[in-house]
Amino acid sequence: MSENVRTEIDLTGPLQTRTQIKPASHKSAHPVLAAHNWKQNSDMIADAAKLGYLDGAVLDLSYGHGKFWKQWRPDKLTTNDLDPTKGHHHFDVNDPAPDHWVEAFNAVVWDGPYRLSGTRDRGDFDEQYGLGKPVNANETMALLKAGVDFAALCTRPGGHVLIKSQPQVVSGRKVWQPRLLVEHGEKGGLTLVDELFLVRPPRPQPAGRRQVHSRSNYSVLSIMCKPKTKGANRNRGETSTRQTLL
């Protein structure tokens, strides 16, 4: 059982148990590693919380079945998903953010449907991650970048945008998706402050195909910070005034 999940037995009345998800402590019993074989995304998110990246009001733009929050859950969590059966809100990241969400959250999490290749034929897996409809790589990247813009707009100055993605091979070439999304965020004024790499056992190489690229057996949680100057990113596409220290 995770250290953040506790089961209590109530002895004052009829025998019953209740399970509580404890808030993450910033005093971790073990160091948070940049690359680790976390069992699932929720374990990685719990470690990100220990580093202070999910303090305060949090918006999950792609809530789905809520699997990010199985080990730790913010006290103030707003959930959004394009699927009307998931989450409490259903805003599309391709549309303008509602006025009451602009710079309203300390952290925004964006785990968009980032798989770029392969047939959408994996049943419940595809459904969970919004991959049920055929799309090409360019359409997927446009959606992911729109999500970064939406997230940045909803983040308070000094807050964090957490972006999940993965390098992938598409049509015989490596697409450095995390780098592309980080660069897009930087153009909007965000600054990369940390990265967590979730290491996974790789799927087997397809039979009859010669391997020409390394297999990406990891996904990336890119953590970006919004400038503390209020309103700096209020307009999408605004030229960044961020100064880079070399």
Separation of alpha carbons 120 and 68, rounded Å: 22
Residue 240 lies in a domain: no
Of 54-68, 94-108, 156-170, 202-216, minimum mean pLDDT range: 202-216
pLDDT band at 234 (very low <50, low <70, confident <90, very high): very low
At 193 the pLDDT is: 98
Provide the mean pLDDT of the chain: 81
At 236 the pLDDT is: 41
Of 31-35, 99-103, 226-230, minimum mean pLDDT range: 226-230
pLDDT band at 191 (very low <50, low <70, confident <90, very high): very high
Residue 20 lies in a domain: no
Q: Which domain holds residue 121?
A: 26-203+212-225
* Highest mean pLDDT of the ranges 27-41, 185-199, 210-224: 185-199
At 39 the pLDDT is: 95
At 136 the pLDDT is: 80
Separation of alpha carbons 219 and 192, rounded Å: 16
Residue 16 lies in a domain: no
Task: Count the domains in the chain.
Answer: 1
Residue 156 clears pLDDT 80, i.e. is over it: yes
* Highest mean pLDDT of the ranges 128-142, 162-176, 220-234: 162-176
Output 131 or 102, whichever has higher pLDDT: 102
Residue 241 lies in a domain: no
Percent of the chain with pLDDT over 70: 73
User: Average pLDDT for residues 24-46, to the nearest whole number?
Assistant: 86
At 127 the pLDDT is: 54
Residue 244 lies in a domain: no
Residue 242 lies in a domain: no
Of 136-140, 141-145, 230-234, minimum mean pLDDT range: 230-234
pTM of the model: 0.77
pLDDT band at 54 (very low <50, low <70, confident <90, very high): very high
Neighbours of 194 (CB within 10 A): 16
Closest listed residue to residue 224, CA positions, set 237, 242, 238, 245? 242
At 97 the pLDDT is: 96
Separation of alpha carbons 65 and 197, rounded Å: 22
Element spanning 165, H or E: strand 155-165
Element spanning 161, H or E: strand 155-165
Residue 21 lies in a domain: no
CATH of the domain at 198: 3.40.50.150
Residue 119 lies in a domain: yes
